[in-house]
Amino acid sequence: MAGIREDYIERMIKQLVSALAAIVKAGKSQRTDEALELVQQTSLSLFGMEYRMLITIDAASVAELLGTPEKILALVKLLSAEADLLEQRGDAEGVAHRLGHALALSRQAQNKKATAEGEALLLAMSDRLAAL
């Protein structure tokens, strides 16, 4: 059973990396609307849930819905990518919301299973929020 879970996590990570690369590429090409749509599509693809819902409800509830620290951290990375896009648009309120949610989710992931990656994301989100 552990092998199946590991295969699933590996596929999810590959899909996330590919999606994040496409999001960053679109953002750097000033195709922000396209990049934001990719964020939505990636959420549906990775989690089977609407992105809007995942960013609207509280972090503890989202963490329960997603279940694993790996999925929670994948969402943190999506939130961070969206925050970058919103920053390009000058949407300071949107950036603060996404980073605050990402920070809370990072804490939830660390509570479930502390990892070096989770700690790094927790610190990165904290630093970005402090810089606003």
Q: Report the pLDDT value the prediction gives residue 16, as an integer from 0 to 100.
A: 86
Q: Report the pLDDT value the prediction gives residue 12, as an integer from 0 to 100.
A: 80
The residue type found at 7 is: D
Q: 116-130 and 92-112 are packed helices; what angle lies between their axes, rounded to 10 degrees?
A: 150
Q: Is residue 1 within a helix (H) or strand (E), and if so which, with residue range?
A: none
Q: Report the pLDDT value the prediction gives residue 1, as an integer from 0 to 100.
A: 57
Q: Report the pLDDT value the prediction gives residue 2, as an integer from 0 to 100.
A: 65
Q: Radius of gyration (Cα) for the chain, nearest Å?
A: 14
CATH architecture for the domain at 2-130: Alpha Horseshoe (1.25)
Q: What is the pLDDT along the chain (132 residues), one digit of tens a residue?
A: 567 667 777 888 888 889 889 999 998 999 999 999 999 999 999 999 999 999 999 999 999 999 999 999 999 999 999 999 999 999 999 999 999 999 999 999 999 998 999 999 999 999 999 998
Half-sphere exposure of 38 (CA within 13 A, CB side): 22
Instruction: Identify whether the C-beta of residue 109 lies closer than 8 Å to the C-beta of residue 119.
Output: no
pTM of the model: 0.90
> In a 3-state reduction of DSSP, which class is residue 96?
helix
Instruction: Identify whether the C-beta of residue 70 lies closer than 8 Å to the C-beta of residue 9.
Output: yes
Instruction: Identify whether the C-beta of residue 72 lies closer than 8 Å to the C-beta of residue 61.
Output: no
Q: Report the pLDDT value the prediction gives residue 11, as an integer from 0 to 100.
A: 85
